[in-house]
Structure 1
């Protein structure tokens, strides 16, 4: 495999869509509020998660799936070989080595997440074949679990400090967002997943059901954020930031309900990009407001 092929399958830009979880945790950091935040530590944690852990998971998934149709941010994935398998393991091991500097709870997080991501793709276990289990695993681990461990690592807190109301509520909101968004990223892959025998959540729900699922969980998430911010003014920045994504979703859903063939790769990526950008902008605003 060429360097370019490996790089494409790492899908590093795809980590952008998961960045809001980390930014949310950073915005809720007590160290940030107190003006004692170690920005070097924050940079290392963010880089390990988004430049090593997530790309390793993407590479491992690509190696075992050997997709021929559109997947992730790749409209036409190039062929893979064993090189990608080794690259995934090297990135995972590098993440663990660097993680030791952050702390053992962070290492434990990296190890657990790495193993879960491998169970998701590996043919012996392949959680991906089980629609509800894989949906919940993705929602929990890319959402709530990552939020809690990011917050713990940023502030170097005792792990049990995460098991209190506000951190757990924030983690739940991250999970709700993933439960809403994840199936919509699978909606154009039904034929490809069917060829491999994977009954994904989107295939189980059907095309229209996938859109209804997104609407339901997103509405619950928005209500949860209103409760989390206690209805304060800052909350209203969230629907404003998400407005482009919401409008696109509604227009796209209208097209899809008329013709299911409109549930295509480019539309799904556009919607995911708009939603991810909206969340990133909101949490960056929140970060600045908290720091000021």
Structure 2
């Protein structure tokens, strides 16, 4: 039972969401090191795994889900663990003196993640709404919450372009990637009656959507670094993300020939390539501001 609960936390999956945090860290000139550490732990080892566990408990997937090709059975202990991690995240944020805005972020994110999966609301079954909310909360809201807490930025200042533009870039990336993570789950989602965004637009539409928002993300990076940073950052971005875009193009091409190639293995490879590329890029920006 303990092993099954741990697997459903899908803690390694947090690595794929780490670029949002690293982007925020790289754009914070003088981060508070203690708050940086605590926010990293709370978001990636508590908040995200709690959301994964809650989602797994109510979905009860039998087919492949993120990083679990054969998910184990779920039990009530998984639901208790999800609640425990959420409560622990809020307790640690209060104990570490991370401030009311960050605590509110944890409460809002936790509430939305529960509404996403719980059968009484189940945002997941509303394709456009779930796609919009996941991109907004895992992207822009998490970016802004991270910048606010590690840089102790006044909440009103988060509305400045230097904060809003990268926040929207994060959301655009997630609006591209999130439907790709659903592309192999059409049968499973249909069995549960969930009309996800990927099911709604179909497999070809999922790839076109990704291409569109990847393009918007690059345009956002172009504007942001030329306005607030350095053109050298764009060179590093192209070097880090070139292999990711190349794999996306290859995958799209093989899917056009055979839609069965829109499967779990290709999706995980895409996630791994994107995770490595973005984490490398933002990690380099944290270490060497170009």
What range describes the TM-score normalised by the shorter chain of this pair?
over 0.9
- Give the aligned partner of residue 177 of structure 2: 181
Number of aligned residues: 285
1:256 equivalent in structure 2: 255
Instruction: Check the 8 A contact 2:203/2:262 in 1, yes or no.
Output: yes
Instruction: Please name the residue that 2:77 is paired with.
Output: 83
Partner residue in 1 for 2:137: 141
Paired with 1:174 and 1:64, the residues of 2 have a C-alpha distance of 27
Q: Does 1:200 align with 2:196?
A: yes
Partners of 1:287 and 1:113 lie apart in 2 by: 26
Equivalent position of 2:116 in the other structure: 120
Alignment-derived partner of residue 34 in structure 1: none
Relative to the length of structure 2, the TM-score reads: 0.96
CA contact (8 A) 2:33 2:150 kept: no
For the residue of structure 2 that corresponds to 1:157, the secondary structure is: coil
Local SS of the residue matching 1:229: helix
Q: TM-score, normalised by structure 1?
A: 0.96
Partner of residue 152 from structure 2, selected from 153, 156, 166: 156
Runs of 4+ that moved beyond 6 A? none
Give distance in 2, aligned partners of 1:234 and 1:154: 22
Structure 1, 211-220 or 39-48: larger mean CA deviation: 39-48
- 1:1-292 paired onto structure 2 within 5 Å: 2-31=1-30, 37-100=31-94, 101=96, 102-230=98-226, 232-290=231-289
| Separation in structure 2 between the aligned mates of residue 138 and residue 73 of structure 1, nearest angstrom | 18
CA RMSD of aligned residues (A): 1.0
Aligned-partner Cα distance in 2 for 1:244–1:30: 29
Displacement of 1:81: 1.1
- Deviation of residue 38 (structure 1)? 2.9
User: How many angstroms apart in 1 are the aligned matches of 2:262 and 2:224?
Assistant: 33
Using the alignment, how far apart are the partners of 1:46 and 1:30 within structure 2?
A: 17
Q: CA deviation at 1:39?
A: 2.0
Q: For residues 26 and 209 of structure 1, what CA distance do their matches in structure 2 show?
A: 34
Is there any run of 5+ residues in structure 2 with no aligned partner, and where? none
Report the Cα offset of residue 158 of structure 1: 1.4
Counterpart Cα distance in 1 of 2:173 and 2:233: 19
SS of alignment partner, residue 125 of structure 1: coil
**Deviation string for 1:145-184 (max 9, x for gaps)?**
0000000000122111111111011111000000000000
